[in-house]
Amino acid sequence: MRLDPALRSALARALPADRRLEDPADCLPYGYDNSRRFHAPDMVVFPLGHDEVVAVVQACHATGTPLVARGRGTNTTGASVPVAGGVVMSLERMNRILEYRPADRLMVVEAGCINADVQQCAAADGLFWAPDPTSAAYSTVGGNLACGAGGPRAVKYGTARESVLGLRAVTGAGTALVTGGRTTKGVVGYDLTRLLVGSEGTLAVITEATLKLLPRPSQQRTLRACYTNAAAAVAAVVRIMGQPETPAALEFMDGTAVRLAQAWQDTGVPSATGALLLIDVDGSDDTVALAQQAVARAADGEGLVELRAAADTTEAAALWACRKALSPSLRQLAPKKVNEDVAVPVSQLPTLLSTLEALSAEHDLQIVNFGHAGNGNIHVNLLADPEDPRQMQAVSACLVAVFRTVLALGGTLSGEHGVGIDKRPYVGWEIDPLTLNLMQDLRSRFDPRGILNPDKTLPLTAPPT
């Protein structure tokens, strides 16, 4: 789109030339995210603080210019791709830790602060921030909050939505907004903090966040449980989550995932393994052994091939190596990887996994399943060749069947990756029309001209049949 001259003038007053890009070659990297989708922005700007964000949003609001706020672009659903063109506002330079109060277990950071930097700072006082996505080394706090990120330890410690006390943000009208506070309890007014978390930048731009920190357990143990098949493994998940000792992480890999990871890097998995669980338990010096024993008892059952406990942190890393090797092996195997992070109640995992196996055979597609089984959050990976029309047609039909199955089991279409572009057409299957209308009305109150991350998250049309 052609930028309004009034917008250019306003942004020139707000930001110096070295923090505004218009050359298409310079703007190109900001048209991508980890979904591998692309649309070129017309301008990229780099604010250094909350007040500059206000100025940018107000300029875009005044001219009706689409505006997409983003961090490091690790999103997998296209949520940070500027499909309508306009301005991309990268918050990557707003990366300061503004305040750290270990006695109150809180930290105030700018939206562009890297997750790993938060963890490193907090670790010095035996604290941590719960969200631990795979991208923690380079994803931003703002991005984690925008998509409601989780990670392996969400099963015990919660996701981004449970891990933030308050926010500073800017609505689509350019109005500064402060939500929440600095206490873990508080019921004054509506909970706008939790409303903004997971909204993918469609309601307001998060500029600062007050994070809730947790004490780091003094001890952690790692177990790897290998099973003859996926049914045995998910049955063990149900048993583990049905006893009192909640694991700090409970990860599942089906047989195909195990074989792919082994082909990428030998991690010593027994040859008879048809699925495995990676389990972390944590606690104090006095309690961790008891927690390990309780989880191990629950993991033991029909189909168990091997239950192995790590002797130390080095061996724990070796046990986790199978899971870490999976993503790169998938990228090597198929040029097109459709990753859907659906979630179902834990008790429904056996039905979900058996249905996915049947769908793989029905559509003649390789489906690789892994993920955060303790939350019922499975990453369903459909592998295909984008140059093969038959395979791509099969992917579309299979996805519809996957989504229908998940919802019939009382699940959700997205556990932690968000909606973005990819799942937007199907949102109407999960949320009824009256509720969607209320959400659209709410969105228009926050962003009356519809400039913030347009064409994302909420559907404008009826879902496909």
- Please choose, from the candidates 85, 90, 89, the residue with its C-alpha nearest in 3D space to the C-alpha of residue 41: 85
For residue 44, what pLDDT is reported? 98
Collapse the DSSP code of 205 into the 3-class scheme (helix H, G, I; strand E, B; otherwise coil) and give the result: strand
CA within 13 Å, CB half, 175: 10
pLDDT tens, 225-235? 999 999 999 99
Q: Is pLDDT of 462 > 70?
A: no
CA 268 from centroid of its chain's CA atoms: 29
Q: What is the mean pLDDT of residues 156-162?
A: 97
Written as one letter, the residue type at 11 is L
pLDDT band, very low/low/confident/very high, at 310 (cuts 50, 70, 90): very high
Q: Considering the chain, what percentage of its residues have pLDDT values greater than 90?
A: 86
Q: What is the mean pLDDT of residues 129-154?
A: 95
pLDDT tens, 383-442? 888 888 999 999 999 999 999 999 999 999 999 999 999 899 999 999 999 999 999 999
pLDDT band, very low/low/confident/very high, at 461 (cuts 50, 70, 90): low
Pairwise CA distance, residues 338 & 342, whole Å: 12
pLDDT tens, 46-67? 999 999 999 999 999 999 999 9
pLDDT band, very low/low/confident/very high, at 333 (cuts 50, 70, 90): low
For residue 36, what pLDDT is reported? 84
Q: Quick one: fold of 334-408? A: Alpha-Beta Plaits (3.30.70)
Q: Is pLDDT of 336 > 80?
A: no
pLDDT tens, 35-45? 889 999 999 99
Q: What is the mean pLDDT of residues 326-353?
A: 83
- Please choose, from the candidates 354, 221, 397, the residue with its C-alpha nearest in 3D space to the C-alpha of residue 295: 221
Q: Is pLDDT of 465 > 90?
A: no
Pairwise CA distance, residues 28 & 461, whole Å: 30
Q: What is the mean pLDDT of residues 259-275?
A: 87
* Domain assignments of the chain as residue spans, ordered by start: 1-216, 219-327, 334-408
For residue 61, what pLDDT is reported? 98
pLDDT tens, 78-97? 999 999 999 999 999 999 99
Q: Quick one: fold of 219-327? A: Alpha-Beta Plaits (3.30.70)
- Please choose, from the candidates 71, 340, 32, the residue with its C-alpha nearest in 3D space to the C-alpha of residue 200: 71
For residue 334, what pLDDT is reported? 64
Contact of 77 with 419, CB cutoff 8 Å: yes
Q: What are phi and psi of 339, to 5 degrees?
A: -110, 110
Architecture of domain 1-216: 2-Layer Sandwich (3.30)
Task: Write out the DSSP string of 335-352.
Answer: SEEEEEEEE--GGGHHHH
Average pLDDT, the chain: 94
What is the longest distance spanned by two Cα atoms in the chain? 69
pLDDT band, very low/low/confident/very high, at 335 (cuts 50, 70, 90): low
291 Cβ partners below 8 Å, 6+ apart? 221, 245, 281, 282, 283
Pairwise CA distance, residues 447 & 214, whole Å: 34
For residue 46, what pLDDT is reported? 98
DSSP state of 366: E
Q: What is the mean pLDDT of residues 340-368?
A: 96
